[in-house]
Structure 1
Amino acid sequence: MVPFVERNYNMVELGPRGTGKSHLFQQISPYAHLISGGKATVARMFVNNSNGQRGLVCQYDVVCFDEISGISFDQKDGVNIMKGYMESGEFSRGKESIRADGSIVLVGNFEVDVEHQQRIGHLLGPMPPEMRNDTAFMDRIHAYLPGWDIPKIAKEQTTDHFGLVSDFLSECWNQLRNQTRVPALQNRVFFGGALSGRDINAVNKTVSGLLKLVYPLSDMQIAEEELDWAVRIGLEARRRIKEQQKRIGAAEYRNTHFSFTQGTDGVERFVSTPELQSESYISGDPLEPGQVWTISPGSSDENPGLYRVEVNEGPGTGVKVLNKPVPAGFRESISYAEQNLYARAKQLVGDKDPRHHEFAVQLRAFDAARSGSKLGVASLLALCTSLLKKSIRGGLVVVGEVNLGGSIEPVNNAVSIAEIAVEKGASVLLLPVTCRRQLLDLSDDMATKVDVQFYSDARDALLKAMAE
């Protein structure tokens, strides 16, 4: 619904049939116009040069291209004219520059599932050939709505109660196009360095549209949780576009770690797209403060396994492990981590006093291994970053145990751990420096897939692990 309330808003929605993608733009509002598959003429879309008649983008609030894979323009430069309009809201007729505020929506169907589509190409694959791999065209799209997450229309979803009068609703939407909610973000939301100017503009438009739908009156106070909700959707929808650009031109679009800071706590929050995530797969996105991926080296009774240590810091004292019962191996590791945090607080967390904070710890296992043994360094880093409100670098796995005296214990199966890290999707592996000689036996293939870094002590590990 955002294209109905936000001027010059460009959106794409691709997904399965039967979810009502085109229905919204065909039946709900007289201010929307649907173009079905076939040729789209420049004269009809923008301006007829022979008689000066203005096109659809001047006549309607929303112009929707249905079955986008079958759309083509009658002129070679049709897509370029459309790109220019999507960027600036203007197009030319001879020497005259014409401005319009019609939003552009592109909807289409996936013939395969999302996972398969990502394996064979990218998620804008169903677009027409002249748009499909054009990263400049993609950059003009403000949001990518994941149609595969929308349920198909079924009889059970209809109501036997009162409904909205669509004519009245569409008039309300039309009036909301004259307003903006972007000022609501000023001094409340700050975007991370990965966002370009176009990215910020796209997210601002999405957030403004969402807030207008939830807060239609301009003087309504916008709650922090509602603002957080809108910003996360805006960042996710724009990042989905950037991820497809990254697949085509990886070097130019390599940094897609979108983040924002909201409120006075100053915590940077990273926003990903669900289709890139897997519960047991290490993504390239930084984790929340207090979360660390780690691999237990295992023992004679247990194979190595992937874990994630998650710590939440709050008022109180002490470290409380939420797992019931607490795995024996992890109980020992978290105890060592806690004592090292107290004893070396100045080196690790500066002027913060960890004894005046409570740490709620949870260990999540992703393999058959369950003991959580030898995870002291990762546990210590999780405690530190939760207190510092800093994130661990994306794609990083930390391995090692720290004893009560602060020394790092040796790891005897570094090659096996490196192979597991690669299998789980890690891009960086942080190991004790004593493992260096062992990794001479790491295969050339594995060595090219993971960046192995070494640390000498807990403070060195913390500095190398934290995101810049």
Structure 2
Amino acid sequence: MDELSLKLNSSFAGKVVRKDLTQKLKQGANVPTYVLEYLLGMYCATDDEDGINEGVQRVKNILADNFVRPDEAEKIKSKIREMSRYTVIDKLTVKLNEKKDIYIAEFSNLGLKNIEISDKYVKDFEKLLGGGIWCIVKLQYFYDETAKDASPFLIDQVTPIQMPNMDMNEFIEGRKQFDKEEWIDVLIRSIGMEPTQLTYEVKWHMLLRMVPLCENNYNMCELGPRGTGKSHLYKEISPNSILVSGGQTTVANLFYNMGRRTMGLVGLWDTVAFDEVAGITFKDKDGIQIMKDYMASGSFARGKEEKAASASMVFVGNINQSVDVLLKTSHLFEPFPEAMAYDSAFFDRMHFYLPGWEIPKMRPEFFTDNYGFITDYLAEFLREMRKTTFGDATDKYFRFGNNLNQRDVIAVRKTVSGLTKLLYPHGEFSKEDIEEILRYALVGRRRVKEQLKKIGGMEFYDVHFSYIDNETMQEEFISVPEQGSGSLIPEGAMKAGQIYTVGVGDSGMLGVYKLETEVVNGSGKFESTGLGNNRNAKESIKTACSYFKANCKNISASISTTSKDYLMHIQDVNGVGMTSSLSLAAIIAMCSGALNKPVQSQCAVLGAVSIGGTINKVEDLASTLQVCFDAGAKKVLIPMVNAADIATVPPELFAKFQIMFYSHAEDAVFKALGVN
């Protein structure tokens, strides 16, 4: 045992298990991890190697004798008949037979149906009614010739494969024996992963997967490549979550069955996870609307009454393209079905977007051979923590910046609460500890907001999340890794001949474009590169060259178009395709290069000019200014014809810039170069 395993065995004796034992047994029995570890916890809760080997053999024997494999169902039925009494391990699902006023059970692998079960078990274990749970079941066999409709199989005793109780005081005292890094590694090992093989960032992503299990009404999505273990936790590790495979469901199954007057999955499970989000469909037209209502408030209306539940919603799915391509051509919620893909109100209810592309594909060395909590013990801890909240943990040290609206604040607080429960269930943490959690929570929510901005436009312009230190009043801004740093337009003076503009690219999306012009001795040639085969962009540059030749003397008599060559390169910075709105920026770039005078620092020019000097209006000024701000612009040149559109720009966004209006091309050149 390594040092951490020794410490874990000492602090949580009898509550831990060697995870390689789970892996070995898992290969031979297709049962959830928590079922295996329940048995391992009963017979292998020791650090004595002989005792472990003996316990493993006993578990193997139990699985061999009592675990029901579907292909051996008839053989087990025969055993029950011959022995009159037999114990099986199987998944049990219960339904109410309202015609006979009895509860009837169905065995998943054994194939038995319509077996009467006592009301007592249904009252004690409600999840039997919603999706079923794994149980150790003692069965009897009694054939009665007079009772033709009755099954000869009788349920004698049902023991759910879950821990009977949880001593939270003991758990919290045990937690105090570990520092933060050690505790993170303990939690990672408890879900079967080896933390020494994972980066620090990936460890945090693994922890975030557990938050829906310990935080009520937490909505999270994780999209990424295949094979990264997105659904593993919800299917195998926790007996308190259910995975809806394929995504197909009904309002009655998920929320409330009005015919039977029974709660659906959200009322019976702590977490409802949807595998393969692309396949999410409701047979009912109002399904998505009810889901939105539930995700926002934790309640929903069915019939004449409103129902409340606390289940978290998790959406996992695959991204088939690279993230870079997806960001340039669409948005990161694209894998969702068409009914949701452009529904900004649905995605606004997401509290966190976990970047699945940052988690490596699972390899054998990523699975641990060391000790971790028995899965069921971990699950009970997570369940107990749902009764408390640490949503206000940040208030003592920090407050939120003004770009976070109420939904953003709720989302961040829920993430902070969930991660604090996982890492500091004893409530002891420093300012630095909570700041680390806060930054991580802000990144996950901003990732949601960045995609909402692409889907919903200016309604979600306020994406520049920040937090303020209550002591120093210093404001820290949070960026999202895949969005870049936000400083495409650098601070300080650029080289003469360089300028940035914003326009609509081939893809229909707004993008940033950098123009670089070199002016050298020559014979008056104009050359441009970087335009590709875009005819409109080439025409725009041709217009700029013609206008520059005809009007450069109006700007300065020292500009020559006969003894100098102008070499221009245009760069599509965001990769959204080339734009046709380059003419004015090209004129300014050529003047800047010819006069050897740089454009003002952090300046972006908007608008285009025709060969006759007409200034073209900027369409959708608000969204264009948002792109300027995201790129790092502080000064913006805007056509005077757009003055009336200022009312469409949110005041908070407009206040971020030094705005310079221009009425003609020469005016734009003077203002861009800072010439009075």
- Give the conservation status (yes or no) of the 8 Å contact 2:220–2:354: yes
Instruction: Using the TM superposition, give the Cα deviation of residue 416 of structure 1 relative to its aligned residue in structure 2, in angstroms.
Output: 10
Q: What is the match of residue 14 of structure 1? A: 223
Check 1:430–1:131 CA distance in 2 against 1; reply closer, same or farther (3 A cut): closer
Q: What is the match of residue 414 of structure 1? A: 598
1:176 to 380, 385, 388: 385
C-alpha separation in 1, matches of 2:359 and 2:441: 17
Query: Which residue type is aligned with residue 414 of structure 1?
Result: P
- Give the conservation status (yes or no) of the 8 Å contact 1:64–1:107: yes
C-alpha separation in 2, matches of 1:111 and 1:6: 30
Q: What is the match of residue 487 of structure 2? A: 282
Check 1:455–1:7 CA distance in 2 against 1; reply closer, same or farther (3 A cut): farther
Instruction: Using the TM superposition, give the Cα deviation of residue 455 of structure 1 relative to its aligned residue in structure 2, in angstroms.
Output: 10
Instruction: Using the TM superposition, give the Cα deviation of residue 454 of structure 1 relative to its aligned residue in structure 2, in angstroms.
Output: 5.5
Q: What is the match of residue 258 of structure 1? A: 465
Q: What is the match of residue 75 of structure 1? A: 284
C-alpha separation in 2, matches of 1:161 and 1:235: 33
Q: What is the match of residue 455 of structure 2? A: 248
Q: What is the match of residue 428 of structure 1? A: 634
Q: What is the match of residue 212 of structure 1? A: 421
C-alpha separation in 2, matches of 1:45 and 1:68: 15
More relative contact order, 1 or 2 (CA 8 Å, 6+ apart):
1
Q: What do the CA deviations read for 1:91-110 (whole angstroms, capped 9, x no partner)?
A: 12311211100000000000
Check 1:186–1:38 CA distance in 2 against 1; reply closer, same or farther (3 A cut): closer
CA RMSD of aligned residues (A): 3.3
Check 1:224–1:454 CA distance in 2 against 1; reply closer, same or farther (3 A cut): farther
C-alpha separation in 2, matches of 1:170 and 1:185: 26
Q: How does 1:193-232 map to 2 (within 5 A)?
A: 193-217=402-426, 220-232=427-439
1:235 aligns with 2:436: no
Q: How does 1:114-133 map to 2 (within 5 A)?
A: 114-133=323-342
Q: What is the match of residue 352 of structure 2? A: 143
Check 1:77–1:256 CA distance in 2 against 1; reply closer, same or farther (3 A cut): same
Instruction: Using the TM superposition, give the Cα deviation of residue 242 of structure 1 relative to its aligned residue in structure 2, in angstroms.
Output: 0.8
**Secondary structure of the residue that 2:446 maps to in structure 1?**
helix
Q: What is the match of residue 495 of structure 2? A: 297
Q: What is the match of residue 459 of structure 1? A: none
- Give the conservation status (yes or no) of the 8 Å contact 1:415–1:442: no
- Give the conservation status (yes or no) of the 8 Å contact 2:212–2:219: yes
Instruction: Using the TM superposition, give the Cα deviation of residue 53 of structure 1 relative to its aligned residue in structure 2, in angstroms.
Output: 1.4
**Secondary structure of the residue that 1:183 maps to in structure 2?**
coil
C-alpha separation in 2, matches of 1:114 and 1:250: 20
Check 1:78–1:142 CA distance in 2 against 1; reply closer, same or farther (3 A cut): same
C-alpha separation in 2, matches of 1:270 and 1:161: 39
**Secondary structure of the residue that 1:106 maps to in structure 2?**
strand
1:159 aligns with 2:368: yes
C-alpha separation in 2, matches of 1:86 and 1:156: 37
C-alpha separation in 1, matches of 2:304 and 2:661: 68
Q: How does 1:304-383 map to 2 (within 5 A)?
A: none
Q: What is the match of residue 398 of structure 1? A: none
Check 1:416–1:225 CA distance in 2 against 1; reply closer, same or farther (3 A cut): closer
Check 1:257–1:60 CA distance in 2 against 1; reply closer, same or farther (3 A cut): same
Query: Which residue type is aligned with residue 282 of structure 1?
Result: S
**Secondary structure of the residue that 2:263 maps to in structure 1?**
coil
- For structure 1, list consecutive stretches of 5 or more residues without a partner in the other structure: 285-291, 307-410, 457-468
Query: Which residue type is aligned with residue 413 of structure 1?
Result: K
C-alpha separation in 1, matches of 2:468 and 2:305: 43
Query: Which residue type is aligned with residue 272 of structure 1?
Result: S
C-alpha separation in 2, matches of 1:436 and 1:85: 47
- Give the conservation status (yes or no) of the 8 Å contact 2:219–2:351: yes
- Give the conservation status (yes or no) of the 8 Å contact 1:62–1:102: yes
- Give the conservation status (yes or no) of the 8 Å contact 1:133–1:248: yes
1:45 to 254, 269, 272: 254
Q: What do the CA deviations read for 1:261-315 (whole angstroms, capped 9, x no partner)?
A: 124111100111111015xx6259xxxxxxx7223437xxxx9799xxxxxxxxx
Aligned length: 329
C-alpha separation in 2, matches of 1:270 and 1:30: 39
C-alpha separation in 1, matches of 2:307 and 2:336: 27
1:86 aligns with 2:295: yes
C-alpha separation in 2, matches of 1:213 and 1:8: 16
Check 1:230–1:39 CA distance in 2 against 1; reply closer, same or farther (3 A cut): same
Q: What is the match of residue 366 of structure 1? A: none
Check 1:430–1:141 CA distance in 2 against 1; reply closer, same or farther (3 A cut): closer
**Secondary structure of the residue that 1:252 maps to in structure 2?**
helix
Check 1:99–1:452 CA distance in 2 against 1; reply closer, same or farther (3 A cut): farther
Check 1:102–1:294 CA distance in 2 against 1; reply closer, same or farther (3 A cut): same
C-alpha separation in 2, matches of 1:262 and 1:419: 31
- Give the conservation status (yes or no) of the 8 Å contact 1:58–1:101: yes
Residues 413-422 or 71-80, more deviating:
413-422
Check 1:283–1:190 CA distance in 2 against 1; reply closer, same or farther (3 A cut): farther
C-alpha separation in 2, matches of 1:192 and 1:18: 37
Residues 16-25 or 247-256, more deviating:
247-256
Q: What is the match of residue 362 of structure 1? A: none
C-alpha separation in 1, matches of 2:382 and 2:328: 39
Instruction: Using the TM superposition, give the Cα deviation of residue 184 of structure 1 relative to its aligned residue in structure 2, in angstroms.
Output: 1.8
Query: Which residue type is aligned with residue 487 of structure 2?
Result: I
Residues 56-65 or 183-192, more deviating:
183-192
C-alpha separation in 1, matches of 2:281 and 2:216: 24
- Give the conservation status (yes or no) of the 8 Å contact 1:297–1:417: no
C-alpha separation in 2, matches of 1:430 and 1:73: 47
- Give the conservation status (yes or no) of the 8 Å contact 1:295–1:304: no
C-alpha separation in 2, matches of 1:252 and 1:261: 24
Q: What do the CA deviations read for 1:34-67 (whole angstroms, capped 9, x no partner)?
A: 0011421111100111011111001100000000
**Secondary structure of the residue that 2:333 maps to in structure 1?**
coil
Q: What is the match of residue 212 of structure 2? A: 3
- Give the conservation status (yes or no) of the 8 Å contact 1:34–1:63: yes
Check 1:276–1:264 CA distance in 2 against 1; reply closer, same or farther (3 A cut): same
Question: Which structure has the greater CA radius of gyration?
Answer: 2
Instruction: Using the TM superposition, give the Cα deviation of residue 72 of structure 1 relative to its aligned residue in structure 2, in angstroms.
Output: 0.3
Check 1:69–1:452 CA distance in 2 against 1; reply closer, same or farther (3 A cut): farther
Query: Which residue type is aligned with residue 458 of structure 2?
Result: A
- Give the conservation status (yes or no) of the 8 Å contact 2:447–2:480: yes
Instruction: Using the TM superposition, give the Cα deviation of residue 415 of structure 1 relative to its aligned residue in structure 2, in angstroms.
Output: 5.1
C-alpha separation in 1, matches of 2:499 and 2:433: 39
Check 1:102–1:419 CA distance in 2 against 1; reply closer, same or farther (3 A cut): closer
User: Structure 1 vs Structure 2: percent identity of aligned residues?
Assistant: 41
C-alpha separation in 2, matches of 1:247 and 1:430: 22
- Give the conservation status (yes or no) of the 8 Å contact 1:131–1:137: yes
Q: What is the match of residue 476 of structure 2? A: 269
Instruction: Using the TM superposition, give the Cα deviation of residue 436 of structure 1 relative to its aligned residue in structure 2, in angstroms.
Output: 12
Query: Which residue type is aligned with residue 295 of structure 1?
Result: A
C-alpha separation in 1, matches of 2:358 and 2:674: 41
